[in-house]
């Protein structure tokens, strides 16, 4: 390969949709990137709540949920892939004697330097009994990009990127996450408008 440019790795970053994004699923979205390699990328949209909340989801999988504050949280549209599957984004949960890249759950992607994303039901079972991760964001579906696809979208200025901030994922009001993600770059939405700066 003649191209010696260092490949970008956006793992544990936010993708912030530019205002010109014309894809309905991704317009106005903030995506947490769980994995990014030369093979492609995988992430979860963190600011598009769906029609159900966690209490509904737990009822669907026939688990009790004793944590009322969790029950009120929306289940998010994580992206267009596998929209019937649940994805739980959470803070790292470690057990005695485990390495940093291991998880207590059966099927977890450990994001280097960041969060964990679990797809196995055991995380829901732990939450149901009052344990499990304290801060979670649950989505149905995820977002995926094939080899080179995200890079070409970045080259077309479809996305801004910034280091992810867990506080924004778990604490920011849903309707403020886009603005707050832009704020991490020192930007405001009006600055990105195509006609910005023209009186």
Confidence of residue 60 (pLDDT cuts 50, 70, 90): very high
Q: How far apart are CA 117 and CA 101, in angstroms?
A: 12
pLDDT tens digit string along 96-115? Answer: 555 555 668 889 999 998 99
How many residues in total does the chain contain?
A: 199
Q: How far apart are CA 36 and CA 77, in angstroms?
A: 20
Enumerate the domain spans of the chain: 13-192
Q: How many CA atoms does the CB half-sphere of 16 hold within 13 Å?
A: 22
What pTM did the predictor assign?
0.91
pLDDT tens digit string along 4-34? Answer: 456 789 999 999 999 888 899 999 999 999 9
Multiple choice CATH, 13-192, 3.30.460.10, 3.40.50.1100, 3.40.1740.10, 3.30.420.40 = 3.40.1740.10
């Amino acid at each position: 390969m003649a191209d010696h440019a260092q490949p970008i790795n956006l793992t544990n970053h936010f993708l912030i949709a530019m205002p010109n994004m014309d894809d309905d699923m991704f317009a106005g979205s903030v995506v947490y990137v769980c994995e990014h390699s030369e093979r492609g990328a995988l992430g979860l949209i963190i600011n598009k709540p769906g029609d159900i909340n966690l209490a509904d989801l737990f009822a669907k999988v026939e688990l009790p949920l004793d944590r009322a504050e969790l029950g009120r949280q929306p289940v998010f549209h994580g992206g267009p892939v596998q929209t019937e599957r649940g994805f739980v984004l959470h803070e790292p949960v470690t057990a005695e004697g485990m390495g940093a890249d291991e998880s207590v759950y059966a099927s977890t992607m450990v994001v280097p330097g960041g969060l964990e994303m679990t797809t196995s039901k055991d995380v829901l079972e732990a939450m149901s009994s009052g344990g499990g991760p304290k801060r979670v964001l649950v989505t149905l579906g995820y977002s995926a990009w094939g080899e080179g696809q995200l890079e070409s979208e970045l080259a077309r200025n479809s996305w801004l990127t910034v280091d992810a901030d867990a506080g924004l994922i778990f604490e920011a009001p849903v309707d403020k996450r886009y603005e707050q993600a832009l704020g991490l770059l020192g930007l405001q939405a009006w600055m990105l408008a195509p006609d910005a700066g023209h009186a």
